[in-house]
Structure 1
Amino acid sequence: MPRGGLLCTWLLHGMLLTSLVVPLPAAAASQALPFDLLRALIGNASTYNHIRPDADGPPVTVNCSLYITSLGSVEETTMDYTVTLFLRHWWNDERLAFTGATRLGWLDLSPEVATSVWKPDAYFSNEKSAALHMVTAENMMLRVFANGDVFYSVRLSLTLDCPMNLRQFPVDVVKCSIYLESYSMSTRDIVFRWSLENPVEYSDQITMPEFKLGDKTLHEDCTKNFSTGNFTCIRATFSLRRKIGYYMFQIYIPTLLIVIISWAAFWVNMESAPARVALGMTTILTMTTQSSGSRTFLPKLSYATAMDVWMTACMVFVFAAFLEYIAVTYALTNGHDLLLKLAECKEEEAEVDKKTKKKTEFGEKVSSLAQGIDNVSRVFFPICFLFFNLLYWSILLVVLSEGEE
C-alpha cells in the first residue's frame, strides 16, 4: 500500500475512536482528581521523601489497636500460643493531605501504591514465627484522609512467647502478653500509644476448648532503654483460665479409682498371697503409667505442680496398701511357724509345760494381729484418703475463686 494511503487509513481510525469516547461527568473527574494528585505527590521525591512525617519536629504519635479473631494452640511444653489478629495503626502525615471532594472523605490505596507510603516499623518483640496473609490478595489496607490522617491495617498470624507459672496446674490462670515495639526508631522519632477506644477487641467467634478468656485486658506502656536509645513499646496482657474438665476425666477420676481398687486387697484372704501380690503390683504399675502420662502435658519443670501433688499422694497410698500386705504376711508367717513347731512336738497335751503354753498363746496372738492389721486398714486408709481429698480440693477451690476475681 502506498505511504499516502496508509496515512489516510490511520487518520480515519483516529477519527472513529475519537467519536466513540464518552466524556466523563464532571463529578467523576473531580472524584478521580484527589487520587491522581496523591499518587503524583507520593512519586515526587521533592515533596515526599519517604521519611517520617515532620522529621525535624516532635516524634510521630502512632495510635495502635488490635482486633483478635482467633486464639488457640496454647502449648505448655514450648510455652507459646498462636493468635490471628488485625494490627491497626493511625497517625497523621500532612504531606498526604489532599484537596478535592470525595464521596466518602478518604482514599483507599492499593497495595502497590501503599508500599511507597511511610509506615511505622512496628514488630512483635515476643514473636517466634509470623505469617502475613496473602490469599486471595495481600490482607492489607491503607486509607488516607483529606487532612492527612493515615489508617493502616494488616492481618497477621503469630506464634508468640508466653512464659507460664504452672505451680497451680491444672487450675491455673495463664497470662499471655503481646509486645509491640519500634525496631529502628527511638522515642525521638516515634511513640506508640494504645487507642483510647477499644484498644484490644476480641471476635465473638473465638472458641477455646481448654481455656476461658478473661474479661479484662491490661494495656501498658513498656518503653525500653537500650544502648542505642529509648525505644517505644506497648503491651497488652490477657488472662486464660484453664478448664479442669479434661483433666478430671483423664487423670483425677482414673487415679482415684486405682487407689480405691488397691484397698480391695484388705478383704482378700490373708493366705491368698498370689492374689494380693498381683493386685498390689498391678495398681502400682498402673499408677506409675498414669503419673508418667500426666507429665506429657508439661515441660521439664524444676518445681511441683498441683497435679504432681495429687499423683504423688495417690502413689503413696497405693504403695502403702502393698506394704500393708507385707506386714500382714510377716506377722502371719511367724505365727504359723510357732504353731508348726508345736505340732511336731511328740509330747502329750497333758504333759505340755508352761513354756510351750506360752508359745501357743504367742502364735495365736500373732495370727490375730495379722487379721487385726487388715481390719484396721479397711478403715484407716479410706479415712486418710478422704482427709487428703478434703484438704486438696479445698485448696483448689480457693485457687479457682481467686482466679475468677
Structure 2
Amino acid sequence: MRGTGDCRIGYYTGVHNSPQSEGTINGSISFLLDAAEVVHQSVFPASYAEINGTEVRWNFPEITEIKPGTTLSTSAATSTFIPRESGVTIERRTNRTQFSDAGVQDAVFNITFDTIHPDGLWGRIEAANTSDVSASFIPGTVQTDLPLFGLNEGLHRIEYRINTTMIEAGNQYFISAAVAVEPTQPVMFAPSIGVWETINFTRTAAPEGTMVTVPHILLPDNVSNVSFSSATPCTWEMARNEHIISSITQRSDLVVPSPPSAAFTATPTSGAAGFTVRFNDTSTGEPTSWFWDLGDGTNSTDQHPVHTYTTPGTYSVRLTASNAVGSDTVTEQALIIVHIRGDFNGNGRVDIGDVAKVAWMAIGLMEPDPAANFKGDGEVDSADAARIAYYYVGKIPAL
C-alpha cells in the first residue's frame, strides 16, 4: 500500500533509561497526557490508566522499574484525523492464507522507500493471537536485505530499525519470516506490518529532578500537557518527533466451511492389460477424506491412488471427496480403456495384423510401442515378434 489519506492522530510517550546509566528508575512511576479527543478505548496500558475528560494518567505499580537500556511507554489514540502522504510502498506475499489445521505460513514483505526521511525509519511485524487463531513467529526464520541498526525477534512481534544512510530511494527491499498458525476454526490469516517514518525531530534538555514536564514548544497541536514523574532523580533530555505510519493490517477472517468440489486427473488412461494408472486428486474446498471406485471392482481411500488394471475392458471411475461439512462426487465415464495384451489394432483379439505390427516395430518400420516389449527388457526386437507369432499360432498360452 501507498498513498495519501486521512490518518488518525495518536500519541506515544515513553521514558528511556540510557544504557550508559548507572541506576534504575523506579518508585511511584507516573505518566500524564492531556490531549483533545482522546479515545478512551485506545489507552494503553489500560490497567494502569485513570481517565478524567481529556486527561489520562498512568500510575504504575511500585515494583515497576526502568533499567538501563530499557524503555517504559504509554500510548493513546484520538478521534482526530489529518491528511498525510506515505513515502513507503509495502506489499505482502504468503505461500498460503487459508488454514483449517495447524500449518506454517511463509510471509514476505516487499518494501520500497519512495522518499527517505533522515530522522529515522523503523518497523514492526506482528502476528497477534485472536479467539480464532494462535499465531507466532518461528525463531531464527527472519531474513532481510534491509540495512539495519538492529533487529529484535519475539514470538508475536519482530521489530527492526533501518539504517537510513544505506537505503536507496526506489529500491525494493524484503523482510520475511515463517509463522506457525494454529486455527481454532477455519480462517484466512496473514500477519501485519508497519513502517514508521520519523520526521520533525527536535530535542531539548531539562534540569535534574524526579519530575519532568515537556515544554509547550515541544507539544504537538491539541496536546496541553505531557509529564513524567518517579521517585528517582534523573537528568532529562527530551525529544519530540512525528511518525508517518504505513501499514498492512493482520488478516484473520473466518472462513465459512463448505463441502469440497470433487475433481481428478488420471495418467495414462489406456493401455494393454497390466498397465498402471496414477490418479491425482484435484478437488477444491479442502477435502479431508477420499473414496475412489476404480471401476473394476476395486476401490481406494488414498488421496492419490495408483492402480494396475489387469483385465481388458472399459472402466468408469468415481471419486467422492468429503470434509466435515459434506461431500461431492464426480464420475468420469469410460475413462480407462484396457486392451487385450498384443491387440495393437484395438479389435478385441490378437490376429495376424498385430503380429505384423510387432515385426515392423522390431525392424524399425514402425515406432516401437512399449506394450510390445513382452520380454520386459525395454526393447522391442525379433524375440518379441517371435513371441506374438507363437501366441497367435497357439504355441504359447500367453504373451
Task: Specify which structure has the bigger relative contact order, considering alpha-carbon pairs within 8 angstroms and separated by 6 or more residues.
Answer: 1
TM-score for both structures, normalised by structure 1: 0.26
Greater radius of gyration (CA): 1
- Structure-2-length-normalised TM-score: 0.27
